[in-house]
Amino acid sequence: MIDIHCHICFPDAYKDVDWVVKKAREEGMAGIIVSSARYDEGIRVLELAVKEKDFIFSTLGYHPTEGTDHEGVLKLIKENKDRIVGVGECGLDYHWQKDPGKRGDQKKIFQKFIDLAKETKLPLVIHSWDAEQDCFDMVKDSGARCVFHCYSGSKELAQQILDNGFWISMSTHILFSKNHRKIMKVIPLERILLETDAPWLSPNKPEPNYPWNIKLSAKKIADIKNTTTEEILERAKKNAIDFFSLNI
Ligand SMILES: [Zn+2]
């Protein structure tokens, strides 16, 4: 069981991160990919990945509306390219940004991360809230290896993303959204990736989300795909290891 995207190092997300890691091991997880959205979170993720080697894997990024110091993050990626498993999250967010000029600025910064993913040959973890089409247009011919994290666009675009050789990661949204159940129908078993985006998207509010809640998503997906929860978790784990070249 591998959660390919969560933020357990986001400042103040959890009272006790060590407990989250310990509990994740007890729940039978094989690994967790911890993502970062801003510079200070990136530093914490790197530290945790050193401490919990072969269990915690890191990606360094800059969220289009929550990020800080994108130049610093780009530098951090270059300095740690052999230690991390991906570039991101990064991308475009038109949900929180309506101003066309500022959307243009988001694109300029996103392009720098796309170029760096290509240069370092690391997978690119894309944030694309209400901006899925523009994100896809920017990466389509980039040559970068892409995953659309927390994808919430149309199922038609999901199909195009998959046909282009990219990946879509299914979040715990699937537990409470009809659209995500529709999207799931176009994702074949050999391309399933699971994530929680924890502490967000909790299925058990007011509790935060936890990486092992991908079990709940897997159960829901098993119903849609007419198979077992175990098979979904096993496939998603294998896909995560292959896509991110994890050393597990
Ligand atoms: Zn995220």
CATH number at residue 37: 3.20.20.140
DSSP 71-126: HHHHHHHHHTTTT-SEEEEEE--TTT---HHHHHHHHHHHHHHHHHHHHHT--EEE
pLDDT value for 79: 98
**C-alpha 92 – ligand 1 centre gap (Å):** 12
pLDDT value for 103: 97
The 10s digit of each residue's pLDDT in 150-203 is 999 999 999 999 999 999 999 999 999 999 999 999 999 999 999 999 999 999
- Domain of residue 26 covers 2-244
pLDDT value for 235: 98
Residue 242 tokens read as 């292959």
pLDDT value for 183: 97
- pLDDT-derived band at 106, boundaries 50, 70, 90: very high
Give the number of domains in the chain: 1
The 10s digit of each residue's pLDDT in 30-68 is 999 999 999 999 999 999 999 999 999 999 999 999 999
Q: Is the pTM of this model over 0.95?
A: yes
**C-alpha 85 – ligand 1 centre gap (Å):** 15
**C-alpha 18 – ligand 1 centre gap (Å):** 20
Closest by alpha carbon to 86, among 195, 184, 178, 177? 195
What is the mean pLDDT of the segment spanning 12-16?
Answer: 95
pLDDT value for 71: 98
The 10s digit of each residue's pLDDT in 201-236 is 999 999 999 999 999 999 999 999 999 999 999 999
**C-alpha 6 – ligand 1 centre gap (Å):** 6
**C-alpha 106 – ligand 1 centre gap (Å):** 16
**C-alpha 119 – ligand 1 centre gap (Å):** 23
What dihedral angle (degrees, nearest 10) is formed by the CA atoms of 77, 80, 29, 15? -70
pLDDT value for 222: 98
pLDDT value for 28: 98
**C-alpha 33 – ligand 1 centre gap (Å):** 11
**C-alpha 230 – ligand 1 centre gap (Å):** 25
pLDDT value for 146: 98
What is the mean pLDDT of the segment spanning 15-42?
Answer: 98
